[in-house]
Amino acid sequence: MPLIASSESPLVLRLNRDLARTIKRGHPWVYADALRDLPRANSGTPAVLLDNKKGQPVAIGFYDPASPLAFRVCDATGLSKLDDRWAERRLRDALALRASLFDEQAAGTQTTGYRLLNGEGDGTPGLVVDVYGSAAVMKLDGAGPCGFWNAPEIAGWLAESSSLNCVYERRKERGTEGRVLVGSIPQQPVPFVEHGLKFTADLVKGQKTGFFLDQRENRHTVRHLARGRSVLNLFAYTGGFSVAAGCGGATQVTTVDLAKPAIDAAVDHWRLNGLPESLHEALAADAFVFLDEAARERRRWDIVVVDPPSFAPNQESIPKATTAYQTLIAAGARVTSKGGLLAAASCSSHIHLEAFLTICEEGVSEARRRATVLGIHSQPADHPTPLVLPEYRYLKFVLMRVD
C-alpha cells in the first residue's frame, strides 16, 4: 500500500495574486482567498499550483476545498513528484534529524520522548508524530492531510524504521475517538525518559499527544537553575517542570493545576523519580485564585513558572487573552522573591513575541516590580519550523530576574 492515500490525478489550481516568490522561499500555505477558483474535489486531492501571471507551475501539494487553508505545499523546487519515493525521502530526513539530536553519546543524556514529525517543519504537511519510548501518537491536521496521507501505511513504516510497537492516531475533532494503527491500545500511560528524568504519557486521553514535549529544553533550563531554590509550578499538568526542579536540587516545589487527575499524575512522576515527598506540595486549584491567596499570605518562591494553556485560540480572542496573560504575570511577579526568577510562557500563536514581551512588561509593572530578561526561548530542535512561517513558532518562554 502507498504512503500517499490519494491516487487521483492532480488538479490544477491558479493563484489570483503574486505569491510565487513567497512560496518559492518556503511558505507552505495558500489560503482559499488567494486562489482564482475553488473546484469541487475530495479533501487531500493532489494539485499543481500555477502562478497568477503566466500560469507557470509554482508548487505541488494537496488541496482541501472545505478549509480556509485550501492548498498545502509539498514541494516548490520543481524537482519532485508526489509519490512514495518523495514521501519516504521526507520521512527518512526527519528520522535522520532526530537521530542526530537524540544520540545518547553525543548528547550525554537519555531522551526517549520527542517529536518525530513536525508537519510543515519536516516537509510533511499536516502530519505530526510524537514518540514516547516504544510508542507513538500520530495527529493529522484536518480533512486535507487525512485525505492525502495514508495513516496506517505511514504508521507501519515508522514502526519498522523506529522500532515502535504501538502507533495510536489521535483525532483533531474534540470528542472523536482515535484508532490504533500499529499494536494495541495502551491501557496505561506509557513510560519515557527526558534528559534522564522518568515520565509517563497517556496517549489516549492526555492533553496534546500525552505530554508537552515542546517545553523539554525549558524544563531542562529550570532544572539547572533550581538548586537551593524554592519553586512554584503553575498550570503544571503532570508536573514536568516540578520534577525537573526537584531533580535539580530545589529545596521545595509547589505544583498547582486545576485538574485533579493531572495533579495525581504529577505526584506519581515525583515518586517515580525517587524524590522526597516532604519537598513536594501538590494542589488541585485554580491558579488565579491560588496566586491571590498566596499574595495575601505573603508567600514567596525563588522560581515561579507560569505556563498556561492557550488564551488566544483565534484573532478575535487576542484582547481578552492579553488581559488574562497580563493579570497572570502580575500575580506571578507578586509572589516571586526579590532577585528570584519568573518564567512566563505562552503557546498562543496569535500572540506574537513582541506582543508577549509587552504583556510581560505591563504585568511586571502592574505588580510594582522590575525585571531583567535572562533568556527568550521557543520550541526545541525536534519542532523545526519553516523560516518564512513565523506563526508556526507559537511557543514563547521568557525567563526574567525580578528585582
Q: Is the pLDDT of residue 107 over 70?
A: no
Q: Domain locations in the chain?
A: 11-75, 84-195, 212-402
Question: What was the pLDDT predicted at 7?
Answer: 79
| CATH no. of 212-402 | 3.40.50.150
Phi/psi for 301 (5° steps) reads -125, 150
Class of domain 11-75: mainly beta
Question: What was the pLDDT predicted at 54?
Answer: 93
Summarised one tens digit per residue, pLDDT across range 325-384 is 999 999 999 999 999 999 999 999 999 999 999 999 999 999 999 999 999 999 999 999
Say yes or no: do domains 84-195 and 212-402 share a fold.
Answer: no
What whole-number distance in Å separates Cα of residue 135 and Cα of residue 147? 24
What whole-number distance in Å separates Cα of residue 136 and Cα of residue 129? 7
What whole-number distance in Å separates Cα of residue 106 and Cα of residue 89? 25
Question: What was the pLDDT predicted at 183?
Answer: 96
Question: What was the pLDDT predicted at 358?
Answer: 98
Amino acid identity at 286: D
Q: Is the pLDDT of residue 18 over 90?
A: yes
Q: Is the pLDDT of residue 294 over 60?
A: yes
Listing DSSP states for 56-90 in one string gives: -EEEEEEE-TTSSEEEEEEE-SSS--SSHHHHHHH
Whether 243 and 199 have beta carbons less than 8 Å apart is answered as yes
Give all strands of the β-sheet with 69-75 in edge-to-edge order. 11-14, 45-50, 57-63, 69-75, 29-31
Summarised one tens digit per residue, pLDDT across range 167-198 is 999 987 656 789 999 999 999 999 999 999 99
Q: Report the predicted TM-score, pTM, of the whole model to 2 decimal places.
A: 0.94
Domain 84-195 part of CATH 3.30.750.80: yes
pLDDT, mean over the chain: 95
Secondary structure letter of residue 248 according to DSSP? T
Q: Is the pLDDT of residue 315 over 90?
A: no
CA angle 117, 123, 127 (to 5 degrees): 45
Listing DSSP states for 105-145 in one string gives: HHHSS---EEEEEEGGGGT-TTEEEEEETTEEEEEE-SHHH
Confidence of residue 104 (pLDDT cuts 50, 70, 90): low
Per-residue pLDDT, averaged over 205-228, amounts to: 96
